[in-house]
Amino acid sequence: MEMIALPNYADINGRPMKKLQIQQYLRKLQLNDFEPAVNLATLTKLQDAHLKYIPYENFDSLNGKITSLKRQDMFNKVIMHNRGGICFELNGLYNWLLESLGFDVTSYSARFIDKMETYQLRRHRVMCVALGEKRYLTDVGVNSESPRVPLEIVEGLIQSDGISQYKFTRSEFWGWLLWQKERGKIWKRLFGFTEEPQIDKDFITASFWCDAHPDSPFIKSKKLSIFREDCNITIRSNYLKFYLGGRVKYRYKINTGAELKEILWEYFGINVEYRLKDDGIEY
């Protein structure tokens, strides 16, 4: 029987970034002089920088815009125009960078687990990077405290990113289950994913649901997230929050559009004019 060759997912998704685009991307990550290599050290450094310098934000969804998952559109928005994005943009763009640097990367579709008996649709993109005989989960698109380093995909191994502990288990329904244990708390499930390789186009339907479906949480209130060494900074609705040590340590009500503009630039690096309103923003 003739064997059918597995597809090259990088080829399916499109052309690699140009050298100038990679340089612009690394500059955005504050890695101007960094020489990336295809190894775990580089993968770790890229993930850490991505979480610190490119925010999660849902402003386009709030304002009725349909998210484009075309690679050049994502690059222009995030890298060239000081914006962030939702997971499909952040992880889609990051997937493109990793492919362009020569990493063996495959994307999967994941389900978040917010409540014990609630089953959500697959509305998250995660990536698996193969390095030698090991495989690592890398993710820069979660809007709350989440893994800050690549995690080896192996059952039962407890791993730490210096803030929280993580482990994978297996489930007939969820596939790989990622668990998190924050300081002073019990283990909880974050999300699950099965290993059907996905290409960029496979995420359009879920992304459209986030932008347009009446049940989508992304069209109801502001959701921003960015990381620092010891904390996760978020905006939920009109509240700025600093989350560290497993709990919110500081909470501030944003009262005016001028305050919002200042906070967006100071903490999230977003330089766009916004007007504050109770159920979202206008710009």
Instruction: List, as one string, the DSSP characters of 193-258.
Output: E----B-GGGGHHHHHHHHH-TT-GGGTS-EEEEE-SS-EEEEETTEEEEEETTEEEEEEE--SHH
31-42 pLDDT per residue, tens: 999 999 999 999
- Pair 227, 233: CB distance under 8 Å: yes
Please give the model's pTM, rounded to 2 decimal places. 0.91
Torsion of CA 228, 211, 204, 36, to 10 degrees: -20
Give the tens place of pLDDT for each residue, 41-60: 999 999 999 999 999 999 99
Q: What is d(CA 258, CA 204) in angstroms, rounded to the nearest whole number?
A: 34
Mean pLDDT highest for which of 97-101, 180-184, 277-281?
Answer: 97-101
For residue 279, pLDDT over 80 is answered with: no
Average pLDDT of the residues in 117-142: 92
Q: Does the pLDDT value for residue 5 go beyond 70?
A: no
Cα–Cα distances in angstroms (integers) from residue 147 to residues 60, 85, 129, 164, 274, in the given order: 25, 18, 15, 8, 30
Residue ranges and CATH numbers for the domains of the chain are: 14-280 (3.30.2140.20)
Instruction: Find, among 25, 23, 30, 35, the residue nearest to 49 by Cα.
Output: 30
Helix 87-101 with 19-28: angle, nearest 10 deg = 130
Lowest mean pLDDT among 57-71, 172-186, 265-279: 265-279
Residue-level pLDDT at 12: 66
pLDDT band at residue 8 under the 50/70/90 scheme? low
For the stretch 212-262, pLDDT in tens is 999 999 999 999 999 999 999 999 989 999 999 888 999 999 998 889 989
